[in-house]
Structure 1
Amino acid sequence: MYIGFDYGTANCSVASMDGNDPTLHLLEKDSFYIPSTLAAPTRDSVAEHLFRHRDLAPLDADGEQRLRRAIAANREEDIDLQFDDVMFGQAALDLYLSDPHEVYYVKSPKSFLGAMGLREAQLGFFEDLVCAMMANIKSQAEKSAQQIITDAVIGRPVNFQGRGGEASNIQAETILRRAATRAGFRNIEFQFEPVAAGLEYEASLTEDKTVLVVDIGGGTTDCSLIKMGPSWAGKADRNDSLIAHTGQRIGGNDLDIHMTFKQLMHPFGFGSRTLSGLEMPLTQFWNPIAINDVSAQAKFFAKENLKDLKHLHKEAAEPEKLARLLSVYHDTLGYSLVKKAEEAKIALSDSQVFTAQLKVLSELIDVDIRLDEMIEAIEVPKSKMVELVSEAVTLGGTKPDVIFMTGGSARSPILRSAVEQVLPNIPLVSGNYFGSVTAGLARWAKVCFE
């Protein structure tokens, strides 16, 4: 059996073909979508979980050495790892939110795969993370389909997050391929996510059109200008139909992070001063919430930064605020703060004000966020997304007949309005915001594997 596999930054989903129509498969309880999250007792638990409970051995000697170190570290901490100790999706998020201090939690590992300067051990660890998530998803999908899955077309952005250009893309795709191979997939192909979304839209066309696909995912925004329609449907060679691609590491997570920074970090000392009148350093409020930036996270949660935070607390004119920032450090609260901003972003699509409740130390802090404040907070990432739309049309040298928007953040009326302002008088349509890429990947899998 073959599938289309959307290994997303925010959520994952898979689909197979039922005749000429894609069918999504249940991955978590009654949901077709599973959040891209993992929780475990320790960082070292992931490698042991794969070997001990899923019978998935490392691919090489480096992996075997990493596994031995992980098992030894768990034994030192007297951890007897059980199958259910490693959790995925909403269950992982619920566990983290219930007690963040006692859980090793990862959200959106896809965001880190293209980061340059990673050591071999770090690359191997990301392979373990992705493999664990893929193995869980493969197992759940096989239960849903009641068939063994052997082949997959995996979606990928035009450009992965990372400053290495094509080197970042090669590194990220290599990690995904190694992880998928280890998880049990036999034949693996990749397809650009916006192209996949376009293939799903193409199935509804009765005449050829030039379509601009705007895919705003959790980690990236990708735009593809594509010739589509009955003349192209089902063709294995689509090179002549692909007019232009643009893509950047800017997505829904970035909207949430900017929202968190501008609207939720003031109770933690953002904008406050020391007793001598100096402003608090901005990086101490950005780094803990930059959940898609390996370097920023490493700097904030480094042991040496604890000394700096304690010094700022001692020198603060409002020490109670810096005490909360220390709690962000000790309890790794960055993910939960960004989650609150995401909730606010969604709520403000339908209202003018939202009250975010932040639980820190023994306090429950209410922060009111107005719609105009949110619009101002996300201006920088929004502008970058819109630039990608314009760039795709410029590179293609032709205007589209229609704009097809997909991805979770494409639901935002603010982003949709921004795209309409750049390309006025062109019809803007949408399908399944979360499922279009997955369905298109399944359609391409049919072309690849039948």
Structure 2
Amino acid sequence: MLGFDYGTSNCALGIMSGNKPELISLAGHGAYMPSSLYAPGREVIVNWLQQQLGPQAKAELTGQRRFQLQKGQSMLRELALDGISGDLFFGKQALNRYLEDPSEGYYIKSPKSFLGASGLKPQQIALFEDIVAAMMAHVKQLAEQALQQDLHQVVIGRPVNFQGLKGEESNKQAIDVLTNAARRVGYRDIEFQFEPIAAGFEFEAGLERETRVLVVDIGGGTTDCSMLLMGPELMPSLDRSEHLLGHSGQRIGGNDFDIQLALKSIMPQLGMDSSLKTGKPMPVNSYREAVAINNINAQTEFYSAANGRFLQQLKRDAEQPELVERLQQVHREKLSYQLVNSAEQAKIALSDSDSCVIELAYLNSRDADISADAGRSLLLDAARRELTNICELMQDTVEQAGCQPQAIFVTGGTAKSPALRDYLQARYPDSKFIVGDNFGSVTAGLTRWSHRIFS
């Protein structure tokens, strides 16, 4: 009976220990495995997955992915000739492998961000299903090793909306991918629970009286808000629908804050705020596409051959061509994730400091001291639109509920930022404002719910 937070930023599993949820240590990852995967080639992911499955699941996958498996087998032979292993890497190991040589291999961070994307072709959905299944298989194996037991029942967290566009159609697409992947790796009983509600369950365990709670879960890819009626007398109920007074969600999350900070602090070092020789401002579309790691279409466009030619012309037209040359390097060496990771590390550093320096030596070996400055005020300015949207989600939930919250419970990694947290708190000065376990609240709540419904 597991709670599984397959998050945009991290994956975590929980199990009840007595009357308290306990996060499971995932070997070298610890309690939280960053949601990232690295493969020597995209084509071999399904081949690796096939080797992790039981006989029946393996036979089903073989029937459904025959062409992809053949293509992957051909690539594995080529890799073997070059002395390269066909192994997959997960979490921080995946990021480290990518950073060793961004131009090689296949790296993906936060695949959950793409599951509800509109316009995905069947082969793209199949690829995401294989990626999710590979990650689930990995963490399930580690959890089973840690607990010394087979695991078959799971409650998986889900946002209110996976994608802003196409609403329920996008949600169904994403839930189907997660369900198929979970079933493939050996989960028999699979249930879902809204992530903000799960986070609320954990908060509820500490309440002494009935309270109206606005739960704000700022995840890596989505922000979800729920107004819940909570209290010790309500906890035993298996049907909490009448206690859910309102909820809303949108595809705004920690990744978006990282992207906006990258645009504001890093991209000027690549020429975004510079001028053309004609005196006109630099076109910014390629700069935005370069860091849009949660947008498949934007990344496809940025790394296209046509955009490579456009950047070459842009360099010739630029007043400071040496800056545009750095953007060309991003295109040539596939550095998008590295840029956004630099911004993410700066955002984390700004939780404890008013300012920091973003080292960018990897952008140009001839100019090893290149860097960018970042501060809390810059982060707040960069994230203004996202914060405004989150406030609108909170207000929409309050209006649905028809009452004001007595407490606001904020969770998710982005809630660690004092600048962002203070901005939200200022909008509701009359409500008690509580910041929860930034990563563990959702997992703990999912674990409590799993124990409740499967016992």
Which range, TM-score by smaller chain? over 0.9
Partner of 1:361: 364
**Amino acid across the alignment from 1:66:** Q
Aligned partner (choices 300, 303, 322) of residue 302 of structure 2: 300
Partner of 1:26: 25
Partner of 1:425: 430
Partner of 1:72: 74
Residues 1:398 and 2:403 aligned together = yes
Residues 1:133 and 2:132 aligned together = no
Aligned partner (choices 409, 416, 423) of residue 421 of structure 2: 416
**Superposition deviation, residue 321 in structure 1:** 1.2
SS at match of 2:28: coil
Partner of 2:180: 178
Whole-angstrom CA distance in 2 between matches of 1:260 and 1:308 = 22
Whole-angstrom CA distance in 1 between matches of 2:419 and 2:196 = 20
Partner of 1:385: 390
**Amino acid across the alignment from 1:353:** S
Matches within 5 A, 1:15-414: 15-29=14-28, 31-52=30-51, 54=53, 57=58, 58-59=60-61, 61-75=63-77, 85-358=87-360, 359-362=362-365, 363-364=367-368, 365-414=370-419
TM-score, length of structure 1 as denominator length? 0.95
Whole-angstrom CA distance in 2 between matches of 1:221 and 1:81 = 44
Residue by residue over 1:377-412, the C-alpha shift from the partner in whole angstroms, topping out at 9 and shown as x without a partner, is 111111111111111111110111111111111112
Superposition CA RMSD, Å: 1.8
- Relative distance call for 1:30 and 1:86 in structure 2 (3 A) is closer
Whole-angstrom CA distance in 2 between matches of 1:82 and 1:103 = 11
* Structure 1 unaligned residues grouped into runs of 5+: none
**Amino acid across the alignment from 2:431:** I
Q: In percent, how many aligned pairs have the same letter?
A: 45
Contact 2:4 2:12 in 1 (8 A): yes
| More off after superposition, 410-419 vs 288-297 | 410-419
| More off after superposition, 347-356 vs 54-63 | 54-63
* Structure 2 unaligned residues grouped into runs of 5+: none
**Superposition deviation, residue 424 in structure 1:** 1.4
Partner of 1:11: 10
**Superposition deviation, residue 59 in structure 1:** 4.2
**Superposition deviation, residue 229 in structure 1:** 1.0
**Superposition deviation, residue 76 in structure 1:** 5.2
Contact 2:62 2:69 in 1 (8 A): no
| More off after superposition, 272-281 vs 173-182 | 272-281
Residue by residue over 1:92-149, the C-alpha shift from the partner in whole angstroms, topping out at 9 and shown as x without a partner, is 1111112212231100000000111111000000001000001001011111111111
Whole-angstrom CA distance in 2 between matches of 1:83 and 1:431 = 41
Whole-angstrom CA distance in 2 between matches of 1:257 and 1:124 = 27
- Relative distance call for 1:60 and 1:158 in structure 2 (3 A) is farther
Residue by residue over 1:254-297, the C-alpha shift from the partner in whole angstroms, topping out at 9 and shown as x without a partner, is 01100001110012120222223333221110101011111111
Whole-angstrom CA distance in 1 between matches of 2:129 and 2:81 = 22
Residue by residue over 1:129-178, the C-alpha shift from the partner in whole angstroms, topping out at 9 and shown as x without a partner, is 00000100101111111111111100000000352111111101110101
Aligned partner (choices 418, 437, 440) of residue 442 of structure 2: 437
Whole-angstrom CA distance in 2 between matches of 1:223 and 1:136 = 30
**Amino acid across the alignment from 1:98:** E
**Amino acid across the alignment from 2:448:** R
SS at match of 2:278: coil
Whole-angstrom CA distance in 2 between matches of 1:87 and 1:67 = 19
SS at match of 2:65: helix
**Superposition deviation, residue 80 in structure 1:** 8.3
Residue by residue over 1:226-277, the C-alpha shift from the partner in whole angstroms, topping out at 9 and shown as x without a partner, is 1111221122111111110010000111011000011100121202222233
- Relative distance call for 1:399 and 1:131 in structure 2 (3 A) is same
- Relative distance call for 1:39 and 1:390 in structure 2 (3 A) is same
| More off after superposition, 68-77 vs 38-47 | 68-77
Whole-angstrom CA distance in 2 between matches of 1:41 and 1:162 = 32
SS at match of 1:101: coil
Whole-angstrom CA distance in 2 between matches of 1:78 and 1:143 = 30
**Superposition deviation, residue 352 in structure 1:** 2.6
Contact 1:5 1:153 in 2 (8 A): yes
- Count how many residue pairs are aligned between Structure 1 and Structure 2: 449
- Relative distance call for 1:440 and 1:106 in structure 2 (3 A) is same
